[in-house]
């Protein structure tokens, strides 16, 4: 069985999408008869070749970070290279992983709906979309979950719905959460990682610059 794992992050291997791809591959490799191929979608010049590999695969999972509420432009450029295969990928099981810095799943629901539609346009079988929220760090539990998602993807060719529910437990902020987070986000505490980076780069004084005002 041919299995293609696409990393749609502009950061390539160096981002959280790359970490998730590796974890999925680990889980999938527990199946003896699976040949896993990985593709980096930030290699724009290889998009046509990768589109061919996707068309020849039995299963594929495309992993990407949420960029301005959808896929990164590079990943969309790859989707456009799939145009020759519209309506013809009937034997392909196609799944997606969307990872976002925002903890709420609602942030990724609109693109999730599009991904199901894209699968339909290609004539492929939709395997589901795993939404990982709050993805600034990849802890052990998260990596285990990604491994399990890979492992249980086969033989059915779909993500396990019980595991999909675990990827991020917060659909949206609760009424109490909204009140608490309104207070917390007004304090420097939650912004510390950004403030620290601005200081390290000597840019803190310019943090409120508005170059196009």
Partner 1 sequence: MKRITILNGIPDDSYTEFEAALDGVAATESPKRHIDVIRLRDLDIRYCTGCWDCWVKTPGLCAHRDDMQTVYTSIMHSDLFVLLSPISMGFVSSLTKKTCDRMIPLVHPYIVVYKDEFHHKNRYEKRPEMGLILLDPDKNDVDFNNTRNIFSRLSINLQTDLTLALHLTGSEKEVYNEISTL
Joined together, the tokens standing for residue 75 give: 């990943």
Site for partner 1 in 6-25 (CB under 8 A): 9-11, 15
Instruction: Render the burial of 120-129: b for 16+ CB within 10 Å, e for the rest.
Output: eebebbbbbb
Residue choice 31, 114, 143, 158 for contact with partner 1 (CB under 8 A): 114
Q: How near is the Cβ of 156 to partner 1 at its closest, in Å?
A: 25
169 binds partner 1 per the rule CB under 8 A: no
Residue choice 5, 74, 94, 149 for contact with partner 1 (CB under 8 A): 74
33 binds partner 1 per the rule CB under 8 A: no
Q: What's the rounded Cα separation, in Å, for the pair 134 and 15?
A: 14
Q: What's the rounded Cα separation, in Å, for the pair 72 and 66?
A: 7
Residue choice 34, 102, 125, 152 for contact with partner 1 (CB under 8 A): 102
Q: What's the rounded Cα separation, in Å, for the pair 127 and 54?
A: 14
182 binds partner 1 per the rule CB under 8 A: yes
70 binds partner 1 per the rule CB under 8 A: yes
Joined together, the tokens standing for residue 193 give: 């990682």
Joined together, the tokens standing for residue 37 give: 């191929």
Q: What's the rounded Cα separation, in Å, for the pair 9 and 11?
A: 5
Contact 5, 25 (CB under 8 A): yes
208 binds partner 1 per the rule CB under 8 A: yes
Stretch of 27-35, 54-62, 142-150, 192-200 lying at the interface with partner 1 (CB under 8 A): 192-200
137 binds partner 1 per the rule CB under 8 A: no
Residue choice 1, 34, 53, 76 for contact with partner 1 (CB under 8 A): 76
Joined together, the tokens standing for residue 199 give: 């200081």
Count of residues in contact with partner 1, rule CB under 8 A: 54
207 binds partner 1 per the rule CB under 8 A: yes
Rg (CA), the chain: 19
Q: What's the rounded Cα separation, in Å, for the pair 107 and 204?
A: 29
Binding site for partner 1 (CB under 8 A): 9-11, 15, 42, 44, 65, 67-74, 76-77, 79-80, 82-83, 102-104, 106-107, 110-111, 113-114, 117-118, 121, 172-173, 178, 181-182, 185, 190-191, 194, 197-198, 201, 203, 206-213
């Amino acid at each position: 069985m041919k299995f293609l794992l696409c990393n749609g992050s502009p950061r390539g291997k160096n981002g959280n999408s790359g970490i998730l791809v590796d974890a999925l591959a680990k889980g999938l490799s527990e199946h003896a008869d699976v040949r896993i191929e990985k593709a980096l979608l930030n290699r724009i010049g290889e998009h046509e070749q990768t589109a061919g590999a996707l068309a020849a695969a039995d299963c594929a999972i495309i992993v990407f970070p949420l960029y301005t509420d959808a896929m990164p432009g590079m990943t969309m450029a790859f989707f456009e290279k799939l145009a020759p295969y519209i309506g013809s990928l009937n034997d392909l099981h196609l799944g997606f992983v969307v990872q976002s810095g925002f903890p709420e799943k609602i942030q990724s629901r609109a693109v999730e709906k599009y991904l199901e539609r894209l699968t339909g346009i290609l004539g492929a079988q939709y395997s589901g979309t795993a939404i990982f929220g709050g993805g600034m760090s990849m802890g052990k539990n998260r990596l285990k979950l990604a491994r399990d998602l890979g492992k249980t993807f086969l033989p059915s060719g779909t993500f396990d719905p019980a595991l999909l529910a675990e990827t991020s437990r917060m659909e949206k902020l609760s009424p109490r959460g909204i009140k608490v987070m309104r207070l917390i986000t007004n304090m420097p505490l939650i912004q510390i990682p950004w403030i620290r980076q601005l200081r390290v780069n000597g840019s803190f004084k310019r943090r409120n610059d508005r170059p196009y005002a």
